[in-house]
Chain A
Amino acid sequence: MREEFEVAIVGAGPAGISAALALAEKGIKVIVFERGEFPGAKNVSGGVLYGHDLAESVPDFIKRECPVERNIVESRLWYLSLDGGFNVSFRDRAFEEGLSFNAFTVGRARFDRWFAGIAEEKGVLVVCGTTVTDLLKDGGGRVTGVRTDRSDGDVTARVVLIADGVNSALAAKTGFRPEPKPSDVALAVKEVIELPEEVINERFNVEAGHGVTIEILGEITKGMDGVAVIYTNKNSLSLCIGANLFDLMSNTVRPYEMLEEFKGHPMVAPLIKSGRPREYMAHWLAEGGYDTIPHLYGDGYLIAGESGMLFNALHREGSNMAMASGRLAALTIAGALARGDTGSEGLAGYAAALQGSYVMKDLKKYRRFNRFLLNHKELFSTLPRLGASAAREMLTVDGVSKKEKQTSIRRRIQGAIPLARLARLLWAGARSIG
């Protein structure tokens, strides 16, 4: 008594749910499988979402009580040495008014549950606590459904949408996507630190309900290609730090040690002082970019979200790409079902739709970015150190003339990194994001 669905979706993350919603709105019979006890139970995210992409799925998301933590009104970028660092930041009234909820923080555990709830109201069946262990295939290799870890656990579907995130056991088992190489993923750890709401408002200089994001590069990742972030939630801060998995392995650094040192950094410590650690998690991130994206469709199946390596590492945008790709997958599937062709050819429109969207345009634009960071470790060692020592020297009032200081700084830079290398680095950097 195997039940048949038009679409089976693996994973109730942003990709799976936005696809399910779009399909249900067209009256298509969808089932979503989520291995967590509830959607979001297994999800880690620094927690910034983007209003534009969410509104495409749920236009009135604020009215429908989307569990927003804080509306982001200021973005900071830090470049840190071990003992200090530089801070650039931008704030605009627009983000408080016309552009409010352009970006906002959420707790993924609460958000994913809410998002899935909206899909359920539209008639989507969200089956939690159930892991998809295999894809069902017919003799010709065409995907015809999924197998789950429950008894009588097979479900047939005309199309399967794989939206199971970056760390996909299903990919490893079925090979629908090659296992990412260590250098194509980052391992990030996240800690949530509880602080009273007013304390956060004061420390970050914001009004109630408003928040700040801080993206951080520099010596904090111990010379490895990596980043850290600090995001403000209503009454907690999310701290994440991560580095390329290949770098972590070859340097035998443990991510949580990196996190502990990060928390003690002089620019971080005052922000989290007297806070109470609430949760701690580790997760992969798909950093490889455009060149690591697998073939995203085949006979009877499609791949969306981070399972398809759709992640913009430079801007830390993953959830929005997940939502956008999920929606495009849903449109493709609806069309294919209507035409009665759910084979590889019938689903090919997905690739074209993605290429035409900001998802592939952005990923293509930054396709060299991951390599650039991996190949220029000075960015995480020599450069922040030199920058900090130069700034320190210029700001120290000790009777030495500024001209003499500049000469000595220039000499120090030349001693530490050949000018030609520096020039090439700047050129490669500009090209990787240009």
Chain B
Amino acid sequence: MNFVCCIKQVPDTSEVKIDPETNTLMRSGVESISNPYDLVALETALILRDKYGGWVTALSMGPPQAEQVLKEAISLGADAAVLLSDRAFAGADTLATSYTLYKAIRNLDVDRPVDIVLCGKQAIDGDTAQVGPGVATRLGFTQFTSVVEIRELNTSDRHITVKRRVEGGFEVVRGPLPTVITVDLGLARPRRASLPGLILSLRTVIDRWDADAVGAEATKIGLKGSPTWVRRIFSPPLKEGGPVFDGRKDPVPAVERFLDAIVADGELTSELFKNPGV
């Protein structure tokens, strides 16, 4: 089995703030991390490789410092890593990003046919969840998004059965390889690197491919290949809590106050009558 795992370097969004004046992310001084979903994807790939044998390649597109996430992948046990880095890739939207990743995966495919591509369900900064499906479509692979469990991987008749999250529940589906899987956080718990793994990663020189090496068409990458324009980024306004009618001590007056309040608030009353299920 040949696995490719796509890993994006993201700002540690627990710390990122949006500049309210310019509407841009304030990234300065913020540590970069591997997208948490992608570490779950990598862990899944490593578990499958250890079980079925094979090869895991970690792939990332980003500036030179994104090498860090690939070193982390090596420390955790990835067999190889490639950084796609070129000024021409800068400013890519989801379309250009999935095109670039797809071209790189095709290159890897030449030496050793790729069986399973694993992506995070979404990146915690862009949050679009479009790159995985974009890559699958271009590769012409089957795709399973939001996977929470891998039920079965049959390497002889080459199919996979997964459980995935869908609106309102889960479904179990089966499909042929090669495939792209985007993983949900619950699928696996990323391991901690062993000391030899960590030392190996510090000594590894990460392969770097520029646009030529990827073999990408200049009009389909970076800003040029990105029809998406970001008009505005904003923090959603904080939702204020509604009124609380505390009936823990004595429910009767609380209910009375509640009824008084909804009668006084015409809008709320009409909402209630329009939607009697509430």
Binary flags per residue of A131-158, CB closer than 8 Å to B gives 1, else 0 = 0000000000000000010111111000
Asked if B198 contacts A127 (CB within 8 A), the reply is yes
Binary flags per residue of B182-216, CB closer than 8 Å to A gives 1, else 0 = 00000000001111101100110000000000000
Q: Report A221 CB to chain B, min CB distance, Å.
A: 33
Q: Which of B193, B194, B199, B203 has the most CB of A within 10 A?
A: B199
Kindly report which residue of chain B lies nearest to residue A153, judged by CB atoms.
B195
Q: Is A1 an interface residue (CB 8 A)?
A: yes
| Chain A residues, Cβ within 8 Å of B202 | 125-127
CA–CA, A104 and B202, complex, Å? 32
CA–CA, A153 and B196, complex, Å? 7
Q: Is A3 an interface residue (CB 8 A)?
A: yes
User: Can you report 25 residue pairs joining A to B where beta carbons are below 8 Å apart?
Assistant: A1-B196, A3-B196, A3-B199, A125-B199, A125-B202, A125-B203, A126-B202, A127-B195, A127-B198, A130-B195, A130-B198, A148-B195, A150-B192, A150-B193, A150-B194, A150-B198, A151-B192, A151-B194, A151-B195, A152-B194, A152-B195, A152-B196, A153-B194, A153-B195, A155-B195
CA–CA, A401 and B137, complex, Å? 97
Q: Report A24 CB to chain B, min CB distance, Å.
A: 14
Kindly report which residue of chain A lies nearest to residue B192, judged by CB atoms.
A150
CA–CA, A3 and B202, complex, Å? 14
Q: Report B33 CB to chain A, min CB distance, Å.
A: 10
CA–CA, A126 and B198, complex, Å? 10
Q: Which of B195, B199, B203 has the most CB of A within 10 A?
A: B195
Kindly report which residue of chain B lies nearest to residue A2, judged by CB atoms.
B196
CA–CA, A253 and B195, complex, Å? 42
Q: Which of B193, B198, B202, B203 has the most CB of A within 10 A?
A: B198
Q: Which residues of chain B (130-152) have a CB below 8 Å from chain A?
A: none
CA–CA, A152 and B193, complex, Å? 10
Q: Which residues of chain A (74-126) have a CB below 8 Å from chain B?
A: 125-126
| Chain A residues, Cβ within 8 Å of B192 | 150-151
| Chain B residues, Cβ within 8 Å of A1 | 196
Ranked 5 nearest A-B pairs via Cβ: A150-B195, A151-B194, A153-B195, A152-B194, A152-B196
| Chain A residues, Cβ within 8 Å of B195 | 127, 130, 148, 150-155
B: residues with CB less than 8 A from A are 192-196, 198-199, 202-203
Q: Which of B192, B196, B203 has the most CB of A within 10 A?
A: B196
Q: Report A237 CB to chain B, min CB distance, Å.
A: 18
Q: Report B239 CB to chain A, min CB distance, Å.
A: 27
| Chain B residues, Cβ within 8 Å of A148 | 195
CA–CA, A328 and B9, complex, Å? 41
| Chain A residues, Cβ within 8 Å of B196 | 1, 3, 152
Q: Report B35 CB to chain A, min CB distance, Å.
A: 17
CA–CA, A151 and B199, complex, Å? 12
CA–CA, A29 and B158, complex, Å? 48
| Chain A residues, Cβ within 8 Å of B198 | 127, 129-130, 150
Q: Report A160 CB to chain B, min CB distance, Å.
A: 15
Kindly report which residue of chain B lies nearest to residue A150, judged by CB atoms.
B195
CA–CA, A333 and B219, complex, Å? 58
| Chain A residues, Cβ within 8 Å of B199 | 3, 31, 125, 127
| Chain B residues, Cβ within 8 Å of A154 | 195
Kindly report which residue of chain A lies nearest to residue B201, judged by CB atoms.
A127
Q: Report A130 CB to chain B, min CB distance, Å.
A: 7
CA–CA, A152 and B194, complex, Å? 6
| Chain A residues, Cβ within 8 Å of B194 | 150-153
CA–CA, A130 and B192, complex, Å? 11
| Chain A residues, Cβ within 8 Å of B193 | 150
| Chain B residues, Cβ within 8 Å of A152 | 194-196
| Chain B residues, Cβ within 8 Å of A155 | 195
Kindly report which residue of chain B lies nearest to residue A37, judged by CB atoms.
B31
Q: Report A241 CB to chain B, min CB distance, Å.
A: 26
| Chain B residues, Cβ within 8 Å of A129 | 198
CA–CA, A91 and B199, complex, Å? 48
Kindly report which residue of chain A lies nearest to residue B198, judged by CB atoms.
A127
Kindly report which residue of chain A lies nearest to residue B31, judged by CB atoms.
A37
| Chain B residues, Cβ within 8 Å of A125 | 199, 202-203
Kindly report which residue of chain B lies nearest to residue A148, judged by CB atoms.
B195
| Chain B residues, Cβ within 8 Å of A130 | 195, 198
| Chain A residues, Cβ within 8 Å of B203 | 125
CA–CA, A152 and B195, complex, Å? 6
CA–CA, A3 and B199, complex, Å? 10
| Chain B residues, Cβ within 8 Å of A3 | 196, 199
Q: Report A110 CB to chain B, min CB distance, Å.
A: 10
| Chain B residues, Cβ within 8 Å of A126 | 202
Q: Report A214 CB to chain B, min CB distance, Å.
A: 27
CA–CA, A209 and B192, complex, Å? 43
Kindly report which residue of chain A lies nearest to residue B203, judged by CB atoms.
A125
Q: Report A65 CB to chain B, min CB distance, Å.
A: 16
CA–CA, A301 and B202, complex, Å? 25
CA–CA, A354 and B195, complex, Å? 34
CA–CA, A129 and B194, complex, Å? 11
Kindly report which residue of chain A lies nearest to residue B193, judged by CB atoms.
A150
Q: Report B74 CB to chain A, min CB distance, Å.
A: 14
